[in-house]
Amino acid sequence: MKIYVGNLPFETTDESLAQEFEVFGEVVSANVVVDRASGRSRGFGFVEMPAQAEAEAAIAGLNGKDLMGRTLTVNESKPREGGGGGFGGGGGQRRRY
């Protein structure tokens, strides 16, 4: 199960995020999302746990928990809607009058 973790302290690393979840079971991956330009954490991340029961226990145990002064938001990750971001409609040629 893929788990969304929000409101992370900016000091959180992939390793420290994994450690929080390993208390509840096996962690396949833990990734803190970082800003491409600055390299700084964007304050959220994702954890993947293979066992459904362990993942649900982690969500129940960590949602609302205080981590370095920030209250975590932890829930099952939902797939993105709408398919790819990007820019809207196409332009084409500029009109010349």
CA-based nearest residue to 43, from 3, 76, 10, 68: 10
pLDDT(54) > 60: yes
Average pLDDT, the chain: 89
- Would you list the DSSP string of 18-64? HHHHHTTS--SEEEEEE-TTT--EEEEEEEE-S-HHHHHHHHHHHTT
Q: Quick one: pLDDT at residue 17?
A: 97
Q: Quick one: pLDDT at residue 84?
A: 54
Q: Per residue in 58-95, pLDDT tens? A: 999 999 999 999 999 999 998 877 655 554 445 555 55
Rounded to two decimals, the pTM is 0.81
CA-based nearest residue to 72, from 29, 36, 21: 21
Domains and CATH numbers, the chain: 2-76 (3.30.70.330)
